[in-house]
Chains A and B, each alone.
Chain A
Amino acid sequence: MTHPDVEQAIMGAGELECLLAVLQSQGYQVLGPTVRDGAIVYDEISRMDQLPRGVSDRQEAGRYRLESRGDEAFFGYAVGPQSWKRFLHPPLERLFQIRRKGESLELDDGRFATRFAFLGVRACELRAIAIQDKVFAGGPYRDAAYQRRRQDNFIIAVNCAVAGGTCFCVSMGAGPKADRGFDLALTELLGDRHEFLVEAGSTAGRDVLARLKSRPAAATDIDAAAAVSAGTAANMGRTVDTEGIRSLLQDNPDHPRWEEVADRCLSCANCTMVCPTCFCTTIEDHSDLSNQVATRERKWDSCFTLDFSFIHGGSVRTQTRSRYRQWMTHKLSSWVDQFGTSGCVGCGRCITWCPVGIDITEETAAIRATADARGGAAHGGT
Chain B
Amino acid sequence: MSAVAPATVDPADPWIPRSYRVTRRTSESPDTATLEVVPSEGALPAFRPGQFNMLYAFGVGEIAVSLSGDPADRSRFVHTVRTVGAVSGAIAALPAGAVLGLRGPFGTPWPLEEARGRDIILIAGGLGLAPLRPAIHEVLGHRERYRRVVILVGMRNPNDILYRHELERWRSTLDVELEVTVDRADAGWHGHVGVVPSLIPRTSFDPAHAIAMICGPEIMMRFTAQALEGVGVALERIYVSMERNMKCAIGLCGHCQFGPLFVCRDGPVMRMDRIAKIFAVREI
Interface string of A316-350 (1 = CB under 8 A from B): 11110110001000100110011000000000000
Shortest distance from the beta carbon of B6 to any chain A beta carbon, whole Å: 6
Interface string of A2-30 (1 = CB under 8 A from B): 00000000000000000000000011110
Q: Which residues of A contact B17 (CB under 8 A)?
A: 98, 105
Is the Cβ of B40 less than 8 Å from the Cβ of A105? yes
Interface string of B249-263 (1 = CB under 8 A from A): 011111101011110
Give 8 new A-B contacts, CB below 8 A, not counting A96-B16, A287-B58: A114-B5, A115-B5, A148-B5, A282-B253, A310-B245, A312-B85, A326-B284, A337-B261
Is the Cβ of B245 less than 8 Å from the Cβ of A309? yes
Shortest distance from the beta carbon of A253 to any chain B beta carbon, whole Å: 5
B interface residues with partner A (beta carbon < 8 Å):
1-10, 13-17, 19, 21, 40-41, 56, 58-62, 84-85, 97, 99-101, 243-245, 247-248, 250-255, 257, 259-262, 265, 277, 280-284
Interface window among A77-85, A137-145, A194-202, A363-371? A137-145
State whether A110 and B7 are in contact (beta carbons under 8 Å apart), knowing that A285-B59, A291-B59, A338-B260 are contacts in the complex: yes
A interface residues with partner B (beta carbon < 8 Å):
26-29, 95-96, 98, 100, 103-107, 109-116, 135-136, 139-141, 143-145, 148, 250, 253-254, 279-283, 285-287, 291, 294, 298, 301, 303, 308-313, 316-319, 321-322, 326, 330, 333-334, 337-338, 381-382
Q: Which residues of B contact A285 (CB under 8 A)?
A: 56, 59-62
Q: Which residues of A contact B283 (CB under 8 A)?
A: 316-319, 321-322
State whether A279 and B277 are in contact (beta carbons under 8 Å apart), knowing that A27-B2, A115-B3 are contacts in the complex: no
Interface of A is mostly: mixed
Is the Cβ of B58 less than 8 Å from the Cβ of A281? no
Shortest distance from the beta carbon of B172 to any chain A beta carbon, whole Å: 34
Is the Cβ of B248 less than 8 Å from the Cβ of A110? no
State whether A114 and B3 are in contact (beta carbons under 8 Å apart), knowing that A309-B255, A382-B277 are contacts in the complex: yes
Shortest distance from the beta carbon of B250 to any chain A beta carbon, whole Å: 4
Which listed residue (A140, A309, A322) contacts B244, Cβ 8 A? A309
Q: Which residues of B contact A281 (CB under 8 A)?
A: 247-248, 252-254
Is the Cβ of B247 less than 8 Å from the Cβ of A113? no
Q: Which residues of A contact B2 (CB under 8 A)?
A: 27
Is the Cβ of B16 less than 8 Å from the Cβ of A254? no
Q: Which residues of B contact A96 (CB under 8 A)?
A: 9, 15-16
